[in-house]
Amino acid sequence: MEAPPDNDVLWARSLHYAHDGTPALAGVSVGVREGEILAVTGPRASGKTTLLQCLAGQLTPQSGEVWFNSSPVHTMGPLARERLRRDRFGWIDTEPQLVPELTAWENAALPLLLRGSPHRAAKTAAMEWLERLDVGDCARKRPAALLQSQRQRIAIARALASDPSVLFADEPSAPLHRADRAHVLRTLTTAARSHTITVVLATHDEEVAALADRTIALVDGRRVGSLAAAEKEGQAECSLSV
Amino acid sequence: MLALRLARGTHPIVLLRRLMVAAASAGVGFLLLCTLGHALGHPEAAGGSAARLLWCLVPLAAAMQLAVAVARTDPATRPQPGLSSVGLGPVGLALLAAASTAVSAAVGSALALFSFLYLRGDLGGEPFGGSVADVLGAGQPLPYAGVLTLLFVVPALTGAAVAVALRPRKPRPDNAKSPDPQKPVAAAGQPSAAHTTVSTGLPWGVALTAAGIALGTYASRTASSPSDGLLPLPGRLDTIPAGVVGGWVLIAIGLVLACPGLTHLCGRLLASGRPGALRLLAGRVLQEEAVRLGRPLGVLCAVASAALAASQLYGTALDSTGARLFGPLTGVGAAVVMACATATVLTVALETKGARIDTTAALGRIGVSSGLLRKAAALRAGVLVAVLAPMSWAVAELASLPLSR
């Protein structure tokens, strides 16, 4: 078994995954360097979310390898992967999936509390991040009383407050309006750069991808050189089948 | 027909829940038929038969509550993209749920009729040496119209209850899901509807329970105490003072009203101080689910109190008169009510779990272990038992105190 390159914090080789038989990933290899922001672009159903879930240890690839800091994620048991997700990874969903019963600051402090940090320290860290993301005044409200953009910022604060090594963001700006979208992405990328957090960002938006250091493109579960080339290929197939 | 087609492809657990509805309906139908049998066998005791019919309302209400809880949990009654794209919207789904509930209840009714006829000996043979047949009015010709009417009652009422409970309501501005995700659901603070119910329910519930206990005590003191048995269930409702029965009804209503508030208080207690993740998750979820979970829990508490009180009263009164106060039919009725109340609480607990499935998945993505979630659920259950069990016991003691003196 070949050891992963040293400068890559997260590294995957020839990942294959199928959701109940429907192929989602077909041999994707990718390396993420320490501290960089990597954008994964592609249209819907191109396997972006599945790739992120495989990298984050939420799904076990049916074949292929995932390495994080020279430890194999693909062979870990469920408990070890849970601990890895809790202690080293952050995750931001497309929709802000907050716990509806908890207030904003409790939501943001939840990962820290889960790690067993003391209540006061967790609250301080959570409040700090909420202030930094301009949602400090919503700290005592519940998610149901907030705007979608505020909720998404709280989800980002939750992911950042636990100071993860790698942050996975699955189209974090998709459900937002344009102004909110730009703001959310700017705060996310700025925070990641200032705290040297590695970010893997899935998006189908070319503008969003421009904020990243590096971009890889997926089409139909495969890595392609550029989206335009892949689309041409698809068109040729269409015209043949008519 | 669609209800039957959908039932064919459903998960065994869902079918098991519908089977519970069928069993409850069978129990209630059997009790109704037994009342008919009693009326046929004892035409002179019309008042007693009417009282028995009145007592049948309790299991009937329990069965209806169970049917509604099961229909709420049923995956077939949730808005489904597959059915809404063929034009079966919320109204259609409510009617579909009512139809499938009525079908389950009708199966139960058929079962009740079969066992009734068998025990009467109408199907040939003498089960239990004819000892039960006497209670059921054996030998008398059955009025078929009456039998059909009684058997029709349970499916019709449960179906109607489900249709009413699941009817699409206009989204209220304060607690419904906002159609536009960009807008907040409530302008400030909390989704208020749940919290006002909780905060107003508790004092009302406590007041009603206290009033019920006081009324029962007062009525039992002033009324001339009947010498033979205190509350001969069923059939001799007239021998206990109406005030005592009224007090018990008040206590039951009070418990149902108070339990959501108590559940909310339990949740607040759990999450008080400086909670860690476990207590925070357990307590806040309990606070949020207080209304949904509290009412069936209140019913269960009321039933448990009634059972405790009855066993205390009749445990001593059984042999003094020589008459069997706890007849087999009373036993069937009590079993139906208790089973329905317990099953309703379990079904509602399942419903809450189903409603939180998205949140649970999201928690899993940020690394919350399933063990922690299980621990939180166990903690919630433990706190609820620790608070509600002594309360039910205390209410039962207080309610039976004046009668057992």
In a domain, B281, yes or no: yes
- CA A206 – CA A214 distance, rounded (Å): 12
**B331 and B271 in a common domain:** yes
In a domain, B176, yes or no: no
Q: Return the residue of A nearest to B181 by Cα.
A: A148
Higher pLDDT, B175 or B46: B46
Extract long-range pairs of B49-57: CB within 8 Å, 24+ residues apart: B49/B235, B51/B234, B51/B235, B51/B236, B51/B237, B51/B238, B52/B234, B52/B235, B52/B329, B54/B237, B55/B233, B55/B234, B55/B237, B55/B333, B56/B28, B56/B31, B56/B32, B56/B333
The DSSP call for residue A3 is P
State the average pLDDT for chain B.
78
Q: Going residue by residue through chain A (242 aa), what tens digit of pLDDT does each one get?
A: 455 556 788 889 889 999 888 888 888 889 998 889 999 988 888 888 999 999 988 888 889 989 998 888 888 888 888 888 888 898 888 888 888 888 898 889 888 888 888 888 899 999 999 998 888 898 888 888 898 888 988 998 998 888 889 999 988 888 788 888 888 888 888 888 888 899 999 988 777 778 888 888 888 888 887 555 555 555 555 555 44
**B325 and B198 in a common domain:** yes
The DSSP call for residue A178 is H
Q: How many residues does chain B have?
A: 405
**B231 and B163 in a common domain:** no
In a domain, B186, yes or no: no
Using an 8 Å CB-CB cutoff, list chain A residues near B277: 110, 113-114
| Inter-chain touch B365–A91, beta carbons under 8 Å | yes
How would you classify the pairing of strands A166-170 and A89-92? parallel
| Inter-chain touch B365–A98, beta carbons under 8 Å | no
**B387 and B348 in a common domain:** yes
Q: What share of chain A is helix, strand, coil (3-state, %, to 5)?
A: 40, 25, 35
Is the predicted pLDDT of residue B194 greater than 80, yes or no?
Answer: no
Q: 3.20.20.70, 3.40.50.300, 1.10.599.10, 3.40.50.10860: which CATH number matches A1-85+213-234? A: 3.40.50.300
In a domain, B181, yes or no: no
Over residues A55-81, the pLDDT tens digits come to: 988 888 889 989 998 888 888 888 888
In a domain, B96, yes or no: yes
Q: Return the residue of A nearest to B186 by Cα.
A: A145
In a domain, B132, yes or no: yes
Is residue B87 less than 8 Å (CB to CB) from chain A? no
**B156 and B254 in a common domain:** no
The DSSP call for residue A179 is H
Name the residue ranges covered by the structural domains of chain A.
Answer: 1-85+213-234
Is residue B179 less than 8 Å (CB to CB) from chain A? no
| Inter-chain touch A106–B191, beta carbons under 8 Å | no
| Inter-chain touch B369–A82, beta carbons under 8 Å | yes
Strands (E), chain A: 8-19, 22-33, 37-41, 63-68, 71-72, 89-92, 166-170, 198-203, 214-219, 222-224
Q: Return the residue of B nearest to A93 by Cα.
A: B362
Q: Return the residue of B nearest to A58 by Cα.
A: B365
pLDDT score at B143: 82
The answer to which of A37-46, A68-77, B54-63, B89-98 has the lowest mean pLDDT is B89-98
Is the predicted pLDDT of residue B326 greater than 80, yes or no?
Answer: no
Q: Return the residue of B nearest to A122 by Cα.
A: B276
The answer to which of A25-29, B6-10, B116-120, B140-144 has the lowest mean pLDDT is B6-10
**B156 and B237 in a common domain:** no
In a domain, B82, yes or no: yes
pLDDT score at B387: 92
**B72 and B29 in a common domain:** yes
User: B99, B57, B60: which is closest to B77 by C-alpha?
Assistant: B99
In a domain, B368, yes or no: yes
**B309 and B378 in a common domain:** yes
| Cα dihedral B188, B190, B195, B200 in deg (nearest 10) | -20
Using an 8 Å CB-CB cutoff, list chain B residues near A158: 366
Is the predicted pLDDT of residue B338 greater than 80, yes or no?
Answer: yes
Q: Domains in chain B: how many in total? A: 2
| Inter-chain touch B280–A98, beta carbons under 8 Å | no
- CA A151 – CA A144 distance, rounded (Å): 9
**B198 and B150 in a common domain:** no
Give the dihedral sign, CA B185/B190/B195/B199. Answer: negative
Higher pLDDT, A91 or B8: A91
**B258 and B150 in a common domain:** no
| Inter-chain touch A144–B185, beta carbons under 8 Å | yes
**B231 and B135 in a common domain:** no
**A157 CA to chain B: closest CA distance, Å?**
13
Q: Which are the contacts of B129, defined by CB distance < 8 A and separation ≥ 6? A: none
**B224 and B140 in a common domain:** no
Domain residues for the domain of B131 are: 1-168
| Inter-chain touch A99–B359, beta carbons under 8 Å | yes
Mean pLDDT of B373-391: 92
- CA B219 – CA B230 distance, rounded (Å): 13
Last residue of one domain, picked from the residues B134, B168, B202: B168
The residue written with tokens 């419904």 in the block is B176
